[in-house]
């Protein structure tokens, strides 16, 4: 007999442009989970640092996060290359991470009642934000494929970029995200590795759905 889904928490970590966001979105929609792309919060703070420098202070950022509406994280300005690189740089700051973490933890453990749970993706979700997640995934793909995907995404948004610039900036972010002292990107032992290099979006979705269904229907 099919078990009714009670409350599930899904944690996903991944390097930049590995397709985690696309998969997390479709999985969240399928199981009716609150989805949070945690990188967007770092991007929002990076945007403030670059374009609204005067507001880049603890009290304003605190206020901004406290009053954060998830819809505001969808702005395409947050996707540009300069914002990506700055996001990766400010994400090394322990005070910035502290500000962001409580918001993320609240989304993960207390999503609005209409949801069956939560699904968060980022760099430290599987071991810092939701260490007791019901499902943990580490989603990756090879560097050139990630750069190509991100380049095509940015082209679609009419951003002026070259493939080489995107490749360079993803490389730089990988280096920083994997090697930083605080909350580095890593695959935890209890995370399932999904390599999306040769998988379509649909194939990735089905692979993860199969893993989740097997567990919740057992
Ligand atoms: O996922 P996305 O590429 O949008 O993340 C932008 C940057 O934010 C990453 O390169 C990473 O440095 C930082 N980040 C983080 N922890 C997270 C999510 C993102 O440090 N949970």
pLDDT in tens, 190-203: 999 999 999 999 99
Is residue 2's pLDDT more than 70?
A: no
Domains of the chain in start order, with CATH, are 9-209 (3.40.50.300)
The verdict on the CB of residue 87 being under 6 Å from ligand 1 is yes
Q: Which atom of ligand 1 has the smallest separation from the CA of 17?
A: 3
The verdict on the CB of residue 88 being under 6 Å from ligand 1 is yes
Closest listed residue to residue 143, CA positions, set 200, 62, 197? 197
Closest CA to ligand 1's atom 9 = 88
Task: Give me the pLDDT at residue 4, please.
Answer: 60
Closest CA to ligand 1's atom 4 = 39
The verdict on the CB of residue 177 being under 6 Å from ligand 1 is yes
Q: Which atom of ligand 1 has the smallest separation from the CA of 38?
A: 18
Q: What pLDDT digit, counting tens, does each position of 137-188 carry?
A: 999 999 999 999 999 999 998 888 999 999 999 999 999 999 999 999 999 9
The verdict on the CB of residue 86 being under 6 Å from ligand 1 is no
Q: What pLDDT digit, counting tens, does each position of 56-66 carry?
A: 999 999 999 99
Task: Give me the pLDDT at residue 218, please.
Answer: 79
Task: Give me the pLDDT at residue 168, please.
Answer: 96
Count other Cβ atoms within 10 Å, centred on residue 76: 10
- Per-residue confidence band for 132, with pLDDT thresholds at 50, 70 and 90: very high
């Amino acid at each position: 007999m099919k078990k009714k889904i009670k409350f599930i928490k899904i944690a996903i970590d991944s390097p930049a442009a590995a397709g985690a966001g696309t998969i997390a979105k479709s999985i969240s929609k399928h199981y009716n989970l609150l989805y949070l792309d945690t990188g967007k919060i770092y991007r929002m703070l990076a945007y403030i640092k670059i374009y609204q420098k005067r507001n880049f202070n603890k009290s304003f950022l605190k206020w901004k996060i406290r009053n954060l509406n998830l819809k505001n994280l969808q702005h395409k300005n947050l996707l540009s290359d300069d914002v990506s690189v700055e996001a990766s740089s400010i994400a090394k700051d322990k005070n910035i991470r502290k500000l962001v973490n409580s918001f993320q933890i609240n989304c993960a453990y207390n999503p609005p009642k209409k949801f069956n749970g939560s699904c968060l993706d980022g760099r430290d979700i599987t071991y810092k934000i939701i260490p007791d997640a019901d499902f943990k995934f580490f989603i990756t793909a090879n560097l050139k494929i990630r750069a190509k995907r991100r380049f095509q995404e940015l082209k679609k948004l009419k951003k002026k970029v070259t493939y080489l610039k995107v490749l360079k900036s993803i490389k730089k972010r990988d280096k920083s995200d994997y090697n930083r002292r605080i909350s580095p990107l890593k695959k935890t032992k209890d995370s399932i590795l999904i390599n999306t290099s040769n998988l379509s979006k649909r194939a990735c979705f089905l692979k993860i759905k199969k893993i989740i269904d097997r567990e919740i229907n057992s």
